[in-house]
């Protein structure tokens, strides 16, 4: 999963830090977060991907592997078998 940040202007215009290619916004969405005071905070998010598909695919793969690893660790902790 590409890096997700709360929306900041001009962030997507920064070049990719892996290959230097331009990046683009692949999707944007809003998230409603309830606040402690009973209100709702709306946060804007944007998912930014590299326009270089080779770079982006490699990055997606890396993130997927990282996610698998974290999931592994989590499961081991749950079952108490981690050492």
The residue ranges that bind Zn ion (CB under 5 A) are 16, 18-19, 21, 50, 52, 55
- Residues 64-71: contacts with CB under 8 Å, at least 24 apart: 67/1
41 or 54: whose CB is closer to Zn ion?
54
Residue 46, helix vs strand vs coil: strand
Tell me if 28 sits within 8 A of 44, measured CB to CB: yes
7 or 60: whose CB is closer to Zn ion?
60
Smallest separation (angstroms) from Zn ion to the CB of 47: 14
7 or 16: whose CB is closer to Zn ion?
16
């Amino acid at each position: 999963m590409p890096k997700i940040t709360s929306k900041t202007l001009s962030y997507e215009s920064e070049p990719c830090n892996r290959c230097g290619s331009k990046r683009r916004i692949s999707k944007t969405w809003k998230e409603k977060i309830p606040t402690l005071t009973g209100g709702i905070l709306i946060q804007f998010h944007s998912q930014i991907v590299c326009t270089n598909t080779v770079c982006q695919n490699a990055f997606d793969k890396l993130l997927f592997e990282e996610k698998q690893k974290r999931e592994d660790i989590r499961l081991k902790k749950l079952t108490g078998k981690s050492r």
